[in-house]
Chain A
Amino acid sequence: GAVVSQHPSWVICKSGTSVKIECRSLDFQATTMFWYRQFPKQSLMLMATSNEGSKATYEQGVEKDKFLINHASLTLSTLTVTSAHPEDSSFYICRVTGPLNTEAFFGQGTRLTVV
């Protein structure tokens, strides 16, 4: 069964609105979750590292005020795309490292389309 659950799987929103994406670890507690973005025919690019109980760590070039990350509990991290624009349209994927630290589990991904 799924180890990581991500919702919604797809969303269409109007330009200027905000969208929240949830990532839940189902089988184990995850102090750290990771958020990636993937544009068509490109690889996954790490956006930020979400830490339970503390501020997220953002990769260079990723606007922290635009992509708000909240790691509310050991099993839930949310990514909110604020004031979305068409260029934010992408595939957003969360990832959790397994308890043995040798595996990486992905959520199902969220296809965001901003119109």
Chain B
Amino acid sequence: QKEVEQNSGPLSVPEGAIASLNCTYSDRGSQSFFWYRQYSGKSPELIMFIYSNGDKEDGRFTAQLNKASQYVSLLIRDSQPSDSATYLCAAFLSNFGNEKLTFGTGTRLTIIP
């Protein structure tokens, strides 16, 4: 079982609609969760991080965390063509000085004008 799993997509969403990206993780000790956006040929850029159960909102983005279900999601409201990219989910585990940031394989999102 992969440690962080994402649907690889592609996920196509009409412009202006809500895009919903999902991620599950296997290690219950994971403490923080990150969503990165990666354009082709570029390095990942951080969109949001979340470490408490519930929702965290930042502009058009909302991250949702459910530790009991080991589930993290990212909602993008009012989707724009510029949101078309691959979205990487990552889980962070820090244990006695050792840390591990594990990435999912990413979901490719396409916003259709």
Contacts and interface: CB of A to CB of B under 8 A. Distances in A.
Partners in one complex: yes
Interface of A: 6, 32, 34, 42-44, 46, 91, 93, 95, 97, 101-109, 111
A104 B94 contact: no
Given A44-B88, A44-B103, A95-B101, A104 B43 contact: no
Interface of B: 32, 34, 36, 41-46, 49, 51, 88, 90, 92, 94, 99, 101, 103-106
Given A43-B106, A101-B94, A102-B49, A109 B42 contact: yes
Interchain residue pairs A-B with the least CB separation, the first 3: A109-B43, A43-B105, A43-B103
A46 B90 CA distance: 12
Contacts of A91: 41
Given A43-B105, A102-B49, A108 B34 contact: no
Contacts of A105: 46
A44 B51 contact: no
B22 to A, nearest CB: 16
